[in-house]
Structure 1
Amino acid sequence: MSRLQTDNLLSAGSLWGLIEARTQATPDALFAVDDQDRELTFREYRDACLKAAAGFAARGVSEGTPVSWMLPTWFESMILVGALARLGAVQNPILPIYRHKEVGFIASQFGTKLLILPPANPKFDYPQMGSDLAADRPGMEVMVCDQILPDGDPATLPPAPAETTPADAPVRWVFYSSGTTSDPKGARHTDLTLDASARGMASCLHLDESDRIALVFPFTHVGGIGWLGSVLASGAAFIVVPAFDAKTTPVVLARHGVTQATAGTAFHQAYLAAQRARVAAGDTSPLFPEVRTFPGGGAPKPPQLHTEIRDEMGGVGIVSGYGMTECPIMTMAAVGDSQEALAHTEGKASPPEVAFRLVTLEGKDASIGEEGEIRVKAPQLCRGYLDESLNEKAFDEKGFFHTGDLGHLDAEGFLTITGRLKDVIIRKGENISAKEIEDLLYEHAAIEDVAVIGIPDPATGERACAVVQTATGESPIGFDTMVEYLKGRGLMLQKIPEQLEVLDVIPRNATGKIDKKGLRETYKDSERPTR
């Protein structure tokens, strides 16, 4: 079996062209089913996009119109994407966790003409936020969408945007990444930068028309649009869940025969907990009997989790990718990779045209197996930032993009992520990898989840602090027990955390990443423990 499967993937010179190509190829095949058992075929999806496009055109949306939207993971969100693609608008999907400050900054910098928001819910009043922001931005219209989009006659639509090549593709997307700066950073993408990532992912997972993909995270994330591209290219179908729930979502995915159980560590932990609860209740059958892989991304996986998922739930285990808003899914594991590669790496360059440069902390090019900052050139790399002043520092002297992540490549080209530059804990001048410690602690029976952070220390510069979540049915691990465990695993004394904090739940954001920034803020002023 070839590592990559590409023969079955459709291609086009734009997102709208891909929607049309898929509709022509498999018009009556399932495109998506949701948690309410609503279904859409590819033909129905295309037709709904056309009607919505006509509706938006009647409201003044046309080629180049900057449209910001913040909607849950609904059918209507995917239809909105297709409608705006048909019109050639510039889309700015916004994560639903953003509030006045972030959305206001984005709307001003992006020049939003139309802001599309969901109705209010018990947690937040989105329409009120929209009204507040519009009061200071006279040229911005706000539309509240409660799963109903504007409707019009497709016969009134102007011609579709022209098909393009990667070299001349216009910017059609701006995704904002919170990063580590005070303001979000707007990464400029084309349909074809996103398509390069989507096709790479589909080829590694060997997606085809039989696949059912769990869409369980915010569709406004760059990964949501990436998965849309993968589905359109391969003919697979979505199982759409607007809000992930650890108890109810696995039931929905099981009911609809999930084969690709996305989307990262937090989700995979929930699936594993559901499988274990099933077994504890006396049912030893697999929760997801059709599952082939557990695609992951957003953050490196604990290797132990891959093994547990594979052994207890079936399929090949976690098949993960590595990417970021600026350069989505630049590496991807493949279904035929070795178990060692699946457990410990994030796969190879995806697509194969991706080029890496790893640079050590001392500034020299890293050799095979040597840790360095990951820098990248890739067909899916963004066209720089909307704020052009950020571009100079974003790229190195050879034109490679600074990811800020640390890792190493082996002789076969597999990439292992070892941490973030900002996660390197410098204790008495020695670099300590947070991920190395996290992977070891994750394997302890008493620990369900873990984050290791650096805290300012007057004596050592920084000290390592382990923040852990206790596993169900276990007693919290004590500091001395943690120390002895890590010693027993062969961790050098200088790397053993000098502080231990136990939380009910490790905080993660909407896409499943641990909120280390928040944890650092919480514990930055904590006193040095006396032992």
Structure 2
Amino acid sequence: MSISDVDHVVPYPAEAVARYRADGLWQGRSLSDSLVDACLAHGPRIALVTPEVRWTYSDLAAQVDSFAAGIETATDLMPGDRIMFQMGNTAETVVAYLGSLRAGLVPVCTLAQHGAREVGLLAGHVGARALLTQGDFGGGRLLEVARGLVADGSIETAIVARTEPFDGAVGYDQIQSAGRGVVPSTVTPTLTDVAVFQLSGGTTGLPKVAPRLHEEYVYNSRAWAQALGWTSDTVVLYPLPLMHNAGIALALQPVLLSGASIVLAPGADIDGMLDLIAAERPTSLPLVPPAVAIRLLDHPRTSSADLTSITQFVVGGQKLPGEVAHRLRDELNMPLRQMFGMAEGMFYLTPPDASDDIVLDTVGAPISPLDEARVVDPLTGKDVPAGELGELWMRGPYTIRGYYRAPEHNAAAFSDDGFYRSGDLGRRHHIDGVDYFSVDGRIKDVINRGVEKIHAEEVEELILRNLDVESAAVVSMPDPVLGERACAFLVMRKGAEPFTVASLGEHLASHGLAKYKFPERVEIRDSLPLSNVGKLSRKDLRDEVSRLLEAESVSHSHADA
């Protein structure tokens, strides 16, 4: 292994492990073995549908075995090595993810939106040796990221899918050819080793990486499938980024573990989604976060589309305004269920046929009987009564006990007895003898732009590299579709040309920042507000931009009238 997991992963306590195994939640099988077992059990059933393939479980297993065997001969990667993924929603992504697990490699999930800076930081943090990239994504942008990371030594091996590899890289097709017809070596990882690395909320100078271990990640996916009642008759349409905890733990893995089928859409284009619904008749549609669901509401084709095959419409990942929840249920006429989850682990889900006060006003209850969910006064660490606002704390059989190589983060984000302090504000609602939870804000200085979290300090640091900027503060501003977007308040040095949204974006792009982190509003000020203890008052800035947006909305309404 490049870096010893023993030194950098916070383990589950022995007594918790014993209980999870005694109750049958953890079953003593690695993630790869569990997924291989599923392929063997459901051989002739359809496993994966993309615009280019329609594979049975047997077809998929053959592709996975070829990749796993090919890795051994076409590269010098060894079991335990970390392999980063920067791929879109393709069959190659699925094969390479499962094949990497089969070969004993540890997938590191990044997003296609990430730039060289984010990928490089993450590679260094987890000790990654390889990067799998999609050559035809974004006009070749990902290929250039990979080329640069190899050139500067951040990555030793680049594997290029869906186009010819650059000099020094290895082709995905080359790996498949080398492994075709060859039985991959048997790899038996230690069950307390990391199976998959998931990125939590973005990267700063010290990335927050969730190390998902074998038994708990299997159980996470199995529990989700059980909570939704997925069977071999289930067809899941998934249009959001696959290489994300939502895509892996809410879609791909639970589909395979339950013998269901996944229809993998290339993207979240509404026309494309509606075409796939008409052609494939999916039964389950998870849209996490709800931005795509909101676009679906307003699309001109939706009202005439036949959505009757969908018996589960799962929306969540962030606070869903009550008005939007009502519209999603009533206008789309699909059985709405809300959920809330995170890369750190715990998932909440509303039950089927729930009353309005549950399905419209909460994100449901935890999906495992051994999940422990609390609402706590963040100052005292004591539970608050039902209905009162507090911080959501959680612990359980698939919630991590600490971030990878991050003692500073862990000291702030985990209690002494292992509860994850989410930073989300919420309430516990005791309804008919069951505790349901709502999410009502955050106490962290993090901008929740759809499913992606933007750390303000990272963006501010890069803004301040421009010497024309005296001070900078990046805060959230409300957005009806994404939940929040970023607004930058800047104080420019005397005589400097003020930044615009466009020029600030050019500056951030020059430093390799992912585009989704760019502020989408810029406000120039003579000074920034301070709190009564002399610190920057982000609350005052958030309130100010909210007032500006509200005034602009009123002005536009009057103009339209």
Q: What band does the TM-score fall into relative to the shorter chain?
A: 0.7 to 0.9
Structure 1 residues 103, 121: closer, same or farther in 2, change over 3 A? same
Instruction: Give 2:42's aligned residue.
Output: 26
- Structure 1 position 337 matched with structure 2 position 359: no
Instruction: Give 1:14's aligned residue.
Output: 30
Structure 1 residues 171, 465: closer, same or farther in 2, change over 3 A? closer
CA contact (8 A) 1:357 1:400 kept: no
The share of aligned pairs that are identical, in percent, is: 22
Aligned letter for 2:416?
A: E
- Structure 1 position 375 matched with structure 2 position 393: yes
Aligned letter for 1:76?
A: E
Structure 1 residues 338, 313: closer, same or farther in 2, change over 3 A? same
> Which 4+ stretches in 1 moved above 4 angstroms?
9-12, 120-124, 179-183, 462-470, 515-521, 523-531
CA contact (8 A) 2:394 2:421 kept: yes
What's the CA shift for 1:382?
2.4
What's the CA shift for 1:170?
1.4
CA contact (8 A) 1:346 1:415 kept: yes
What's the CA shift for 1:273?
2.6
CA contact (8 A) 1:188 1:383 kept: no
Q: Secondary structure at the match of 2:306?
A: coil
Instruction: Give 2:270's aligned residue.
Output: 246
What's the CA shift for 1:324?
1.3
Aligned letter for 2:187?
A: A
Q: Distance in 1 between matches of 2:151 and 2:253?
A: 36
Instruction: Give 1:157's aligned residue.
Output: 184
Structure 1 residues 407, 302: closer, same or farther in 2, change over 3 A? same
Instruction: Give 1:268's aligned residue.
Output: 293
1:428-482, Cα deviation, whole Å (9 max, x unpaired): xxxxxx9xxxxxxxxxxxxxxxxxx9xxxxxxxx999655579xxxxxxxxxxxx
What's the CA shift for 1:330?
2.3
Aligned partner (choices 300, 314, 333) of residue 314 of structure 1 = 333
Structure 1 residues 463, 184: closer, same or farther in 2, change over 3 A? closer
TM-score, length-scaled by structure 2: 0.70
Instruction: Give 1:41's aligned residue.
Output: 56
Q: Distance in 2 between matches of 1:419 and 1:138?
A: 37
Q: Secondary structure at the match of 1:387?
A: coil
What's the CA shift for 1:373?
0.5
Q: Distance in 1 between matches of 2:202 and 2:156?
A: 26
Aligned letter for 2:441?
A: G
Q: Secondary structure at the match of 2:444?
A: helix
Q: Secondary structure at the match of 1:28?
A: coil
Structure 1 residues 213, 138: closer, same or farther in 2, change over 3 A? closer
Instruction: Give 1:195's aligned residue.
Output: 218
Instruction: Give 1:294's aligned residue.
Output: 313
Structure 1 residues 122, 180: closer, same or farther in 2, change over 3 A? closer
Instruction: Give 1:174's aligned residue.
Output: 197
Q: Distance in 1 between matches of 2:248 and 2:56?
A: 18
Which runs of 5 or more structure 2 residues have no equivalent in the other structure? 1-24, 164-171, 449-455, 457-473, 483-500, 502-514, 526-540, 552-561
Q: 1:5-404, aligned counterparts within 5 Å?
A: 13-36=29-52, 38-58=53-73, 59-122=75-138, 125-137=141-153, 140-146=156-162, 148-149=172-173, 150-151=175-176, 152-153=179-180, 155-161=182-188, 168-179=191-202, 181-226=204-249, 227-264=251-288, 265-274=290-299, 277-279=301-303, 283=304, 286-317=305-336, 319-327=337-345, 329-363=346-380, 364-389=382-407, 390-404=409-423
Which runs of 5 or more structure 1 residues have no equivalent in the other structure? 1-8, 426-433, 435-452, 454-461, 471-502, 504-514
1:403-439, Cα deviation, whole Å (9 max, x unpaired): 11011112221011111113799xxxxxxxx9xxxxx
RMSD: 3.5
1:39-75, Cα deviation, whole Å (9 max, x unpaired): 0111111111001111111122332011111111111
More moved, 304-313 vs 185-194: 304-313
Q: Secondary structure at the match of 1:117?
A: strand
Q: Distance in 2 between matches of 1:10 and 1:134?
A: 39
Q: Secondary structure at the match of 1:422?
A: coil
Q: 1:510-521, aligned counterparts within 5 Å?
A: none
What's the CA shift for 1:249?
2.1
Q: Secondary structure at the match of 1:201?
A: helix
Q: 1:397-436, aligned counterparts within 5 Å?
A: 397-411=416-430, 412-422=434-444
Structure 1 residues 33, 520: closer, same or farther in 2, change over 3 A? closer
Structure 1 residues 516, 344: closer, same or farther in 2, change over 3 A? farther
CA contact (8 A) 2:401 2:414 kept: no
Structure 1 residues 369, 516: closer, same or farther in 2, change over 3 A? farther
Aligned letter for 1:49?
A: V
What's the CA shift for 1:181?
4.3
Aligned letter for 2:222?
A: R
Structure 1 residues 146, 192: closer, same or farther in 2, change over 3 A? same
1:274-295, Cα deviation, whole Å (9 max, x unpaired): 4x5454xxx4xx5312111111
CA contact (8 A) 1:53 1:154 kept: no
CA contact (8 A) 2:374 2:383 kept: yes
Q: Distance in 2 between matches of 1:463 and 1:401?
A: 24
Aligned letter for 2:61?
A: R
Q: Secondary structure at the match of 1:403?
A: strand
1:219-260, Cα deviation, whole Å (9 max, x unpaired): 110111112221122211111112221222222222110211
Structure 1 residues 12, 278: closer, same or farther in 2, change over 3 A? same
What's the CA shift for 1:194?
2.0
Q: Distance in 2 between matches of 1:306 and 1:39?
A: 34
Q: Distance in 2 between matches of 1:516 and 1:79?
A: 27
What's the CA shift for 1:138?
7.1
Q: Secondary structure at the match of 1:223?
A: helix
Q: Distance in 2 between matches of 1:143 and 1:463?
A: 37
Instruction: Give 1:480's aligned residue.
Output: none
CA contact (8 A) 1:287 1:313 kept: no
1:121-178, Cα deviation, whole Å (9 max, x unpaired): 455522222222222227611121117441214545221325x7xxx43112112223
Q: Distance in 2 between matches of 1:113 and 1:242?
A: 27
CA contact (8 A) 2:296 2:302 kept: no
Aligned letter for 1:333?
A: T
Q: Distance in 1 between matches of 2:151 and 2:127?
A: 15
Aligned letter for 1:247?
A: D
Q: Distance in 2 between matches of 1:387 and 1:354?
A: 25
What's the CA shift for 1:345?
0.9
What's the CA shift for 1:336?
3.8
Structure 1 residues 219, 464: closer, same or farther in 2, change over 3 A? closer
Q: Distance in 1 between matches of 2:327 and 2:480?
A: 19
CA contact (8 A) 1:331 1:351 kept: no
Q: Secondary structure at the match of 2:271?
A: coil
